[in-house]
Amino acid sequence: MPKCLNARVLIPGIAQGELVASNVPLSFWGGVDAKSGTIIDNHHPLVGRSIAGKILMIPSGRGSCTGSGVILELLLNGSHPSAMIFGREEMILTIGVLIAQEIFQKSIPVVQVSSSVFEDLLRHDRMWIDRGRICLEQPDDVSPIIPSESPSLHGSEFSSIQVSSLDREFLDGVHGRAVQVAMRVILRMAQIQGVTELIDVTQAHIDCCIYTGPATLKFARQLHDWGARVRIPTSLNSISIDQRLWRAQGVDPDLGEPSEQLAQAYVGMGAQPTFTCAPYLLETAPKRGENVIWAESNAVVFANSVLGARSIKCPDFLDVCVALTGRSLKTGCHLTANRKARVQVHLEPCNGTDDSLYPLLGYLVGDIAADRIPIVTGLEAAAPSIDDLKAFGAAFATTSSAAMFHIAGVTIEARTDEEIRWHLTDTNKVDISRSDLATQYTLFNAPAVEEFTPIDLVSLGNPHFSHDEIIRLLSLCAGRTKSLNTALVITCNRDTYSRAAKEGHIRALEEFGAQIITDTCWCMIQEPIIPVDCQIILTNSAKYAHYGRGLTGRQVRFGGLTRCVDAACAGGISNQQYK
């Protein structure tokens, strides 16, 4: 009898094949090529491996909520894994498969295993998946199932979930096909997560307006053709182009046209064309205790941690389904008990550091925390700005799958002694030293072959630049001359751009030689905004320092804002150690 191990079925199915496995979580967005299935995250141990036709086993996804769009692309273009095995709860990649199954009749099995089974499977290189079993030799009794198998519209499968009369109308198709499918997806995700109740949310921020390929456009068009309309106020994340200027910028129409069509599809559903990855900078930002549904990983983390609003880390596609119904899963950070810190990360004294401290620290804290909410101590007297917290949160969301963090004495739910004591109860402590920060700084800036490294492009605005950051950048540029050999490009949202333009700041930056772009952000920008002959990019974003090389094929360096301006003026950087 073949050795078989038990697994929890998230999406049913059967599969067999070679195992591609790692005990490091993987973000599909920025980590897996959406056309070929090759892993492109240069910080991941599986970089260069193909998952096409393989069984992929990782603890979970992490980082960008857009990973669900990448797995949908792979499923529809045939470069998908044959199955996925996770070691802990996973929403982002699972819902991508669920959407493929519900709308496009494409599916692969997705299962979750215990930590002990995960460790056991790491020692093997081939296996068979038959719904709730993972066999290390071919079993005798595998029986194929229909790939599109899913719960029936009105069956007992949803009987464990409390639904309102309006939910039932949605599910029965009273309000149209788009809302019916949206409610099915919400209830299936609730079922997968063991959630028994839904809640009302006041607003949504949609992330899957990012064009990852034909599949994301096909999804939006299908909903639009079914008459989809958002039911709650809904903003849109950054898109893949500067909608108003992409043609003048020389962007390839093969990217520009479908990206614009995708954005217009969601605007046609009633979403607002805010096109920003930092919706917390808008006047519509939610208040403390407000239940919302935000996608875009850094935005979710900021909303929960800094604003005190309440959102799950919502994967792409689920964000749209919630926007169409106004209903979300009563789970995760919507619940007070789930907002408690589960690990303490203490920063040893680091006097004299610049603003690169916060993205570096966020990156390391996220890696330590993994799927746990951390409380950071040691910054009680530091008084980080909103922009510092923005940089910390974006980096944290890159390496962690948790939906929030706390900083003792700083963030909104960890300011009082009582709150801090609650978070510190039953938590393990991990220390971060200046040496740890220096090590990560060195990793971001490797390889440092020469004493002076020419910089072809300085990238700022990941997440989108705030008004205060524009003011600070101007002060650093005052009285200086930008090198003709180095491009300086900043991204921000339309509101920030408009305000800065009225105040004369945009003209001043352009006179210095900077290019300011709206609507899109660095996770999507390609040539020709990135010059064709560009070899090395410098950024002050740990998020972009992580994703940039895989997304662009260029080398990426990291430093604080002052270092970035110095590089723009000098045409390069000295390969200094972390200070």
Write out the catalytic residue numbers.
64
Q: Closest by alpha carbon to 541, among 398, 385, 353?
A: 398
3-state secondary structure of 537: strand
3-state secondary structure of 392: helix
Question: Residues 188, 278: contact at Cβ < 8 Å?
Answer: no
Q: How far apart are CA 317 and CA 66, in angstroms?
A: 9
Rg of the chain (C-alpha set)? 23
| Surface-to-core class of residue 159, CB atoms within 10 Å of its CB (0-12 exposed, 13-18 middle, 19+ buried) | exposed
Q: Closest by alpha carbon to 376, among 332, 339, 341, 337?
A: 341
CA angle 362–24–360, rounded 5-degree value: 15
User: Looking at this protein, which amino acid is placed at residue 144?
Assistant: P
* Residue with token string 């494409």: 106
Question: Residues 27, 61: contact at Cβ < 8 Å?
Answer: yes
Question: Residues 474, 508: contact at Cβ < 8 Å?
Answer: yes
Return the percent helix, strand and coil in the chain, to nearest 5. Answer: 35, 20, 45
Question: Residues 179, 228: contact at Cβ < 8 Å?
Answer: yes
3-state secondary structure of 117: helix
3-state secondary structure of 503: coil
DSSP labels for 475-486? HHHTT----TT-
**What letter would DSSP give residue 248?**
T
User: Looking at this protein, which amino acid is placed at residue 8?
Assistant: R
CA angle 547–548–550, rounded 5-degree value: 75
Q: Closest by alpha carbon to 505, among 475, 481, 529, 528?
A: 475
* Residue with token string 């980082």: 63
